[in-house]
Structure 1
Amino acid sequence: MSAGAAHSELEMLRDLLAPENLPAPAGAPELRSTHSSRVILADSDVFKLKRARDLGFLDYRGLSVRWHFCHEELRLNRRLAPDVYLGVVPVFRDARGYSMTRGGHVVDYAVHMRRLDESHSALTMHREGRLETDHLERLAVKLAHFESEALVVSESSAAFLESLHENFEQTRWQRGQLLSDDRWERIRTRQLEVASDTRDLRASRATKDGHGDLRLEHVYFESNEPIIIDCIEFLARFRHADPALDVAFLARDRHREGQPERAEWFLNRYAFASNDLDLYPLMALYASYRAFVRGKVAGFVVADEAAPPEIHERKAREAREYFELAERLLSPPSPRPRLIAVGGMIASGKTTLSAELAKRMPAVHLAADAVRKFLVGVPQEQPAPDHAYDAAMNTRVREELMRR
């Protein structure tokens, strides 16, 4: 960004922080910045502007480019949060300066959102000890439903390998600063080894138009239904992926917070709701990849000369933590395998008991009745038809349970 452009951006932000220049009530607007956005928080509204910069993996230079990606952000995020994403508003410049209210020459665009209460964010709830396994289960079910209906896209599993290599190219400058040369090389070697070992499995899985950035701070619980915001809009390759890559975000976050048992419970519930047990061999690689991406992005903020010193310090610490986690996730502990079988009469509580055991251990939960419903194409909340219990189907259910 040129000095003149940076100066104009600062002038624009200064003017937009005046309440009279916003199209919504704002007693004392607040500005927050990320590596890609400037976010203005009003009383009940949010206005998100895209920074006119090129970071390699995103390029928001050009007014028409920002217009396009504002509308993409609106379209894509309305899939999971339709009442949060309200529209796209222009930023005007006239003789009095910049505003979103007076009209004039259009110089930028902002995504208009309903402001969510931070006390309802999953990250805040976690830090305050209010994020329960019930919340994780509801999130897993919603995500499984979203991924089941998401558009199947044509990208192959090779796109993941491209992103893997891109990560290491974009972090070469961070070696010796935010992570050691040895750690960088160990992570690179191990991720590529596991990617090679799982090539056939990854190639067999569907690629969906998913979320691409499913972190705890992007999940809110205003009521029973989770709200998921801030999906990736700037590069389809980051969003078009194996659904398990979205699941890996939240599993990674639980590991980072020292709660591996919560990570396993979330995976358990997602695998149960989506009928996807094949994701387990991929989780170490996918979660490590996601951790490395967060370390990389934190490093970009460290390199931003406009960021204040306290932000530099916090993001440098965050980058180092994520790089350490990326390596640790590739070598998870391998406890002795255990199998617990629960049997009993019809409607005696087998599924309830086994689900509670799976939560407390934690462990993968397999239920014969759930497998039966998947095999006959019946939603889990509905009863299976009579023919689902005949001898032939009972054999299929047992075979599928053994396969899993």
Structure 2
Amino acid sequence: MPNRKSTLRPESTHSLEALVSDLSDPTLYPHSVEVITTIETHISVVFLTGDYAYKLKKPVDFGFLDFSTLEARYKYCLLEVELNRRTAPELYLGVVPIYWDAERQKISMQANDTAPVEYLVKMRQFDPNAVLGSQGDCIQISHQQLDSLALQIAKLHLNAESVDMKSELGTPDVILKPMTDNFIALEACFDPESHPYLQDLYQWTLTHHAQQTPLLLQRREQGRIRACHGDLHLDNIALINRQPVLFDGIEFSDSFRWIDGISDLAFLLMDLASRRQAHLAWQILSIYLQRTQDYQGLQLLRFYMVYRAMVRSKITNLRAEQFRSGSSERAKLCVLADDYVTLAHDLSQIPSKPKLILLQGVSGSGKSHLAEQMLRLIDAVVINSDRTRKTLFGIEPLERVSDEQKQRLYSQTMNRNTYRKLEENAQTSLQAGWHTIVDATFLKKEHRQRFYNLAKALQVPVYLIYIDTDLQLDSVFLAEQIRLRTEDDKNPSDADAAVMLQQSRYLQKPQDDEPCIWLNAQKLRQEFPQQQIKQFLNLPLTS
């Protein structure tokens, strides 16, 4: 299949250049406009007017996307508004028709007796600097915002419509086609001799697709193919009123948006990894999985992350082609496209045997904070007992419960069910080849022993990190921990001072036969023992 070039198809006398020029005129708009700024991609031009933004779809045909007719652009404008109102109803205001004003010999937003010559998506404008992708390789996002983002994505996927099983969408063949199309497009952009990864990645994709075909079919039968965002990367996430908002989901291709939720999420995780922010990717993934309980999807995560890196390389090359040959803009984009191929190759490399890491300590000792810090040292799935417990109970992870609900939520039956689920999810994660951190109190030796047995059965190394604190002696530490937990509305734990003290009385500390290091809770609050943890986990001891 030959590489398909972009084709601009201006209709009538209204060329793309003329439309962009006219839409850059502040007097065109029915509201006050002082200055207009434009943002251009390979498929659209966005006009920022102050209070509102207007998106013009380019009359292009890339094969996977066809905006070449006015009818198609109108259809996809309507669909874009409908789909994106799921996550950003306050942003997507509607579709605006554009008319030809024969008397003034220019376009107009005032309706007349002629048919529209173009359509625009009207949005409420926000600061372009609020887009996470604009921050480059230094993403500024708080723990609370990260938590909210992961839960928003989980909610979108859990509530999204499942694919009609009579359609071909989400079948293994449909999943594979855009993957192989990426390589066809990229062969025209890269010299195979200067970029040997392309052929290796092509074969890797075919091999892994064949290996995973039974799972792809199973997940489709399970209803995992859903109406997702489809373009979930940092350039399509903004912090508005200090809350993350997903926007600009795909409308132009059914096969690109009716996908597995893990494929959708993989785009964001890959994007973060490409910016050397992998620790944020693993935090988002962990929170997402604890809400959706879709740990099975981890078996496909590497497959989809490689695909998303190749998508990004192809799109970056398409954007480069729209700049003059020899220009600095084109050169920069070509280098970036090359970097994505290299990232895809790195992602395809299966790491050494996965590690199972257990974090033990009473509620409030700092386990969850330690797990978050450890993600800067090791790429791992974090499985948190509080979030898992609440998901099993049928409530949101951050929902507070009544005293009556607490009796059932923290009953012996729920304790057993929670540890059983933690073990099940850890096993799935490890078997998928990912390092796994289990964050729980592990008050009893029997709770830890079941994970030691799991590690032995899977033949993976297991490590226990115990956070030690004597709450009965250190009342100042206890009071401070309670204060911090009370102020943190993103903490899923319901434990109060009484619970923490009770746990400390019944806690069975690690014994000599357990693979353990002890960390002091008070010291842990002041300094992260990076080198000590690296040495314990047999990680490279870099400065």
Q: TM-score, normalised by structure 1?
A: 0.89
Whole-angstrom CA distance in 1 between matches of 2:214 and 2:400: 35
Residue pairs, 1:88-127, within 5 angstroms: 88-95=95-102, 96-104=104-112, 105=114, 106-125=116-135, 127=137
Q: Does 1:130 align with 2:140?
A: yes
Please give the alpha-carbon distance, in whole angstroms, between the structure 1 residues aligned to 2:265 and 2:276. 17
> What is the percentage of aligned positions where both structures have the same residue?
28
1:184 aligns with 2:201: no
Counterpart of 1:261?
279
Deviation larger for 114-123 or 301-310: 301-310
Which structure's CA Rg is the greater one?
Answer: 2
For 1:59, give the aligned amino acid: D
Partners of 1:120 and 1:390 lie apart in 2 by: 44
Offset of 1:138 from its aligned partner?
1.8
Between 144-153 and 232-241, report the one with greater CA deviation. 144-153
Q: AA paired with 2:100?
A: R
Q: Name the amino acid aligned to 2:22.
A: D
The alpha carbon displacement at 1:390 in A equals 5.2
Number of residues of Structure 1 aligned to a counterpart in Structure 2: 398
Q: 2:475: which partner in 1? A: none
Query: Which residue of structure 2 aligns with residue 68 of structure 1?
Result: 75
User: Which residue pairs with 2:506 in the alignment?
Assistant: none
Contact 2:9–2:60, Cα closer than 8 Å, also in 1: no
Paired with 1:174 and 1:125, the residues of 2 have a C-alpha distance of: 28
Q: Answer yes or no: is the 8 Å Cα contact 2:145–2:243 preserved in 1.
A: no
Q: 1:4 offset after TM fit, Å? A: 7.7
Cα offset, 1:85, TM superposition: 0.9
Superposition deviation, residue 62 in structure 1: 1.5
Match of 1:195 among 195, 203, 209: 209
Among 52, 65, 84, the alignment partner of 1:77 is 84
Aligned to 1:271: 289
Q: Distance in 1 between matches of 2:283 and 2:109?
A: 48
* Range with greater deviation from structure 2 (97-106 or 35-44): 97-106
Q: Alpha carbons of 1:7 and 1:168: their partners in 2 closer, same or farther (altered >3 Å)?
A: same
Give the match for residue 234 of structure 1: 252
The equivalences for 1:288-307 within 5 A come to 288-304=306-322
Asked if the contact 2:361/2:367 (under 8 Å) is kept, the reply is: no
Counterpart among 15, 25, 35 of residue 32 in structure 2: 25
Q: Which residue of 1 is the match for residue 304 of structure 2?
A: 286
Q: 1:58–1:235: 8 Å Cα contact kept in structure 2?
A: yes
Partner in structure 2 of residue 207 of structure 1? 225
Q: SS at 1:371's partner residue?
A: helix
Superposed CA deviations along residues 242-287 of structure 1, whole A, max 9, x for unmatched, are 1111211221112111122222222112222322222323222211
Offset of 1:389 from its aligned partner?
5.1
The answer as to whether partners of 2:137 and 2:277 remain within 8 angstroms in 1 is no
| TM-score, normalised relative to structure 2 | 0.68
Q: Which runs of 5+ in 1 are unaligned?
A: none
Q: For residues 3-42 of structure 1, what are the structure 2 equivalents within 5 Å?
A: 8-42=15-49
Give the distance between the partners of 1:129 and 1:57, measured in 2 at CA: 31
Query: Relative to 1, partners in 2 of residues 1:76 and 1:184: Cα closer, same or farther, differing over 3 Å?
Result: same
Q: Are the aligned partners of 2:148 and 2:243 in contact in 1 as well (CA < 8 Å)? A: yes
Partner of 1:165: 180
Counterpart residue identity of residue 417, structure 2:
R
Report if aligned partners of 2:312, 2:340 keep a CA contact under 8 Å in 1: yes
Structure 2 unaligned residues grouped into runs of 5+: 1-7, 426-543
State whether residues 147 and 287 of structure 2, in contact with CA within 8 Å, keep that contact through their aligned partners in structure 1: yes
1:349 aligns with 2:364: yes
Aligned match of 2:155: 145
